[in-house]
Structure 1
């Protein structure tokens, strides 16, 4: 089921899987939309409704807007959380999950909703200077409206995948899905690089926090290095390492990721 909320004239779309009880809200990162997370939603064994936010820049949500920043994303999520609480009941609260770029947004929005966010799960969140070395090339690709080049850059120069991996991806049906998702990429990663976050300020969050790490990324750039910064800044967080996984478990093993999310929510509740 598709639902819409509006903030300052921008439409934000959410998918909702029906359920009864405390809702779960999933916030994807870059190069993903709500549709990409539906296999995880389908595999989740949780009783409550499950929402996935289709962040701005992804149809059918609205455009990034002229003054886009990470603060825009935080304000969007702040508004969405308020709307979900109003729709589902304040006494239920909300379990919040954020992946990658969405993890940072979820963390910062949680600080505004400590009375309603009951648990926070972050799967390999990122923070500046993530992707900084690829920004110039991404901006050039955006100016040329070259979505193929943008997909190539984010996989090779940001995520660190091999040329063989990218060549195989280009031959797969997934490439055509990724092309439109790359349209806002340069602006998103630029906003991330400009956003100053003191992660230590969140150490005192008084709610269950779980950090999910793909074992293939442990101690490696870029995702493992970013993860280590969050783990250090959030010493009370529960850290879970997912065997055999990297940054894309939602696409490569949705059932396995759903199992980890379900276990996390059981612990939190």
Structure 2
């Protein structure tokens, strides 16, 4: 499926979000909500692999270009309301899909409006990464984006120093990570600000949770996934073989294939 248009939608606080649309904008489709350290562009290969819906709308959440600023009133509630604006614009959406922090946003949004299906890939919830907030605050305060990238990879994701060195060795990829780390402290703070409701995705007719095989039962993503699962009691659980948290980058075709299969259930 090829990208057809990009739209800019005004949201609260004099900000805006852009959405990349693949396929036919006016047909029932899939809405994709990326998480932290990710934007709509990084999901282009997954969107291009999906064909079970007539359209795919990828949200470029606020805080990352060309969308607007987070604003001082930013919170998890802000994200849910922004997604509501997207769903009002694309009111024929059949399925919400969110990754990581985006997964939490979609599950909470499905508490507030009916949706035929919600899918979340390794959604995270409080407490997630809370121990890294003091160091992230210092790094953000000094605009040390290199340090922010190191913190999210080493202290939060648990990757090795060698992994970070490998990322740094690719100047283009490292520059992208630096740019995407700008809203990181605010987003992680919002995620940890208040506990989620006891039940999530209550108005979704069908709920599907996906975990990468490599993260089963392991911290931080597998353990947070298990925590979320307790709050989505009617969800079916699916596993993506051979993958971890970054399947949208490392195996976009495989992830797109799994999404296609879930649409047929």
Residue 118 in structure 1 maps to residue 122 in structure 2: no
Report the counterpart of residue 195 of structure 1 in structure 2: 194
Maintained 8 Å contact 2:111/2:201: no
**Any unmatched runs of 5+ in structure 2?**
none
Q: What are the Cα deviations for residues 94-152 of structure 1, in whole angstroms up to 9, with x where unaligned?
A: 310000001111111111211xx210000000001100111111111000101011001
Map 1:21-100; keep pairs closer than 5 Å: 21-85=27-91, 92-100=92-100
Report the counterpart of residue 213 of structure 1 in structure 2: 211
Structure 1 pair 179/194, CA: closer, same or farther in 2 (3 Å)?
Answer: same
Q: What are the Cα deviations for residues 148-204 of structure 1, in whole angstroms up to 9, with x where unaligned?
A: 110010000001111111111111231111111001101110111103202x32374
Distance in 2 between the 1:35 and 1:53 partners? 10
Q: Which has the higher helix share?
A: 1
Report the counterpart of residue 223 of structure 1 in structure 2: 221
Residue 180 in structure 1 maps to residue 179 in structure 2: yes
2:137 pairs with 139, 157, 162, which one?
139
Distance in 1 between the 2:65 and 2:112 partners? 27
Give the count of matched residue pairs. Answer: 258
Residue 3 in structure 1 maps to residue 2 in structure 2: no
Q: What are the Cα deviations for residues 53-106 of structure 1, in whole angstroms up to 9, with x where unaligned?
A: 000000111000011111111111111111111xxxxxx443100000011111
SS of equivalent residue, structure 2 residue 177: helix
SS of equivalent residue, structure 2 residue 230: helix
SS of equivalent residue, structure 1 residue 202: coil
Relative to the length of structure 1, the TM-score reads 0.92
CA RMSD of aligned residues (A): 1.3
Distance in 2 between the 1:32 and 1:256 partners? 19
Q: What are the Cα deviations for residues 244-268 of structure 1, in whole angstroms up to 9, with x where unaligned?
A: 100000000000000111111111x
Residue 17 in structure 1 maps to residue 22 in structure 2: yes
SS of equivalent residue, structure 1 residue 24: strand
SS of equivalent residue, structure 1 residue 213: strand
SS of equivalent residue, structure 2 residue 151: helix
Relative to the length of structure 2, the TM-score reads 0.94
Deviation at 1:233, TM superposition (A): 2.4
